Chain A
Amino acid sequence: MAAADTTPATAGLPMPKIRPARILLWTVLFIGGLLMITPILFMFSTSLKTAGQIYDLRLIPQSPTFSNYVKVLSEGDFFRWFLNSSLVAICVTLSNCFFDSLVGYTLAKFRFRGRQFVFIAILSTLMIPTEMLVIPWYLMASDFGWLDTYWGIMFPGMMTAFGTFLMKQFFETVPDDFIEAARIDGLNEFTIWWRIAMPLVTPALSALAIFTFLGNWTAFFWPLISITSSELYTLPVGLTSFAVEQSIQWEMIMTGAALATIPTLIVFLLLQRYIVRGVMLAGLKG
């Protein structure tokens, strides 16, 4: 390239100074990262060990074997549970992305009587811990006959106050001009939301999707309570069934858990790009 020819040689540039604060920061981050990754490494490691080796706390198994994977995938209802979890997590995620945004948009962009009241009412539900809500949920599900159904697992999370709040905050950053221009161009209010406002909040939407998916994929407490038939178990609930019979089969649990991390990784890697792109998009808007 012509430009490269004219630039001075870079070999003489001084090395960036290594500052003590930097070193401290990197050390802390490194230790933090190590603490987080260790259990995950042990999970994978254990999944490759035989039942006899599991208390041999070596990170590299002596004779790694995939027999656990074969066993988990062939015996039991692993696939069924995997599908159940996928179904629940995907439905709840889509529902949240849709309804949280719809309500968030309405609260952010329309002036109507009672708007503030509605918003505060939604926010206040954030202060109630899940443990307190489980009993009402259970009673409600039992009254409507939703216990031991997919809908029974999903209904409490179909819309969340947190998601609504998050989306409202983001929609407030969308300039009114965009919306009014679309209104003059003849779009109806729903189309304005869907075609104009939603694409402008993709970063928030991606974040919401990741959190919701992960939260529901790993959800344990409510599925455990609401589901009794094993063919409706979600993965986390199903995995515990390796623990109840006779003894705890750690290698099986770890294998199942290892398999369970795959979709979360995929979802994260897929959506993470949108977060980054969305931030760039917002940054460039002049």
Chain B
Amino acid sequence: MATIQLNKLTKAYGKAEVIHGIDLDIPDGEFVVFVGPSGCGKSTTLRMIAGLEEVSGGDITIGGRRVNEVDPKQRDIAMVFQNYAIYPHMSVRQNIAFGLYTSKLSKEEKAKRVEAAAETLGLTALLERRPSALSGGQRQRVAIGRAMVRNPAAFLFDEPLSNLDAQLRAQMRIEIKALHQRLGTTIAYVTHDQVEAMTMADRIVVMRDGHILQAAPPMEIYDNPVDIFTARFIGTPSMNIFPARQADGQVSLTDGAPSVMAGVRPQDLKVAATGTGMAVSLEGVVTVTEPLGHETLVHFSTRGGHDFIATAPGHFGASPGDTVQAQAAAGTVHLFDPVSEKAVGRA
């Protein structure tokens, strides 16, 4: 069990700085998920925490101890990699036991821990198999088992599910979350899948270009994104962003110089909604409809050429070429400064 603190952490490869002084406090037992686009520095940050990458500036403390110059093995952390990194020349049992390679436990105690981890992960029947005879999900479970037996102070995951298919990913997501609830160990988890971030995290850390944009619980980020980037990154489909003018509580799309950038989530932008107190009202031509069953996503294009995604009920009659109206209720429209792109409030 441990807290992890990043203090003005920087990383430079040669002259190119890729992490620009990030601060983050991860309390004991928290499940933190780092998200961001490719190349934003998620892996680099995680690898610095693990000790696989040297720190260029600032400090990392784990459990109150500054670990900048401490070897990975002495940091009491375990890491699970995207490519599983389970050894093909060893059986599942040997792979899991490898987590205890340097441990001073007795043989029996080690064997017991391996059995227990296998039990937890549903690998008991596979213990004597070689990795080549396992499915992707099973391999990743072995990798998690190897991390688990050590009883580390913290787990680090670097995109552990991205090599799995969608269904397995959904299942492993739940398993990892359940594991966290049982073990209560601090977890730092990297992904570029915002669904993973939303569903698993106690707290999401949104990164971009080596900066942390926002670190907050998932719903907090969803409800109050600090800027346009975060607003678009979290939530599917992405939030509609458009240049707008604001007058008497109404936000209207404009092709001239905008006074604000407005953002409205597709879930809040309803096709053919009726009612009063609408903050945004748009009209456009349907380009594509995506029926999802319980609702239909309606892509439409306004006369000025702005594209939007709105939602309609499951059984929705309109087809491409039809003209539709969409409205968003007051209070659901996010407003951003057009220059700094920072959130400035709601309408």
Residues of A within 8 A of B (CB): 175, 177-178, 180-187, 196, 199-200, 281, 284-286
Is there contact, CB below 8 Å, between A186 and B101?
yes
Q: What 0/1 readout, one digit per residue, does chain B (99-111) give for beta carbons within 8 Å of chain A?
A: 1011000000000
Is there contact, CB below 8 Å, between B85 and A181?
yes
Q: Which residues of B contact A200 (CB under 8 A)?
A: 87-89
Q: Which residues of B contact A186 (CB under 8 A)?
A: 72-73, 101-102
Q: Does B198 contact A (CB under 8 A)?
A: no
A200 to B90, CA, bound (A): 10
Least CB distance from A44 to B in Å reads 40
Least CB distance from A109 to B in Å reads 13
Q: Does B77 contact A (CB under 8 A)?
A: yes
Is there contact, CB below 8 Å, between B72 and A178?
no
Contact partner, B82, options A177, A185, A196, Cβ 8 Å: A177
A285 to B132, CA, bound (A): 6
16 interchain pairs (CB within 8 A)? Answer: A177-B83, A178-B87, A180-B50, A180-B79, A180-B85, A181-B79, A181-B143, A183-B72, A184-B52, A184-B79, A185-B101, A186-B73, A187-B102, A199-B89, A281-B89, A285-B132
Q: Chain A residue with minimal CB distance to B80?
A: A181
Is there contact, CB below 8 Å, between A180 and B101?
no
Is there contact, CB below 8 Å, between B79 and A281?
no
Q: Does B203 contact A (CB under 8 A)?
A: no
A175 to B79, CA, bound (A): 16
Is there contact, CB below 8 Å, between B136 and A286?
yes
Q: A184-B77, A281-B132 are in contact. Are A177 and B85 (CB under 8 A)?
A: yes
Q: Which residues of A contact B98 (CB under 8 A)?
A: 182, 185
Number of residues in B with C-beta < 8 Å to the partner? 27
Q: Which residues of A contact B99 (CB under 8 A)?
A: 185
Is there contact, CB below 8 Å, between B50 and A184?
yes
A183 to B102, CA, bound (A): 11
Q: Which of A175, A178, A199, A200 has the most CB of B within 10 A?
A: A178
Q: Chain A residue with minimal CB distance to B134?
A: A286
Is there contact, CB below 8 Å, between B83 and A185?
no
Q: Which residues of A contact B136 (CB under 8 A)?
A: 286
Is there contact, CB below 8 Å, between B132 and A184?
no
Q: Chain B residue with minimal CB distance to A179?
A: B85
Q: Does B229 contact A (CB under 8 A)?
A: no
Q: Which residues of B contact A285 (CB under 8 A)?
A: 88, 131-132
A182 to B51, CA, bound (A): 13
Is there contact, CB below 8 Å, between B89 and A183?
no
Is there contact, CB below 8 Å, between B102 and A185?
yes
A114 to B131, CA, bound (A): 37
A164 to B89, CA, bound (A): 23
A92 to B51, CA, bound (A): 39
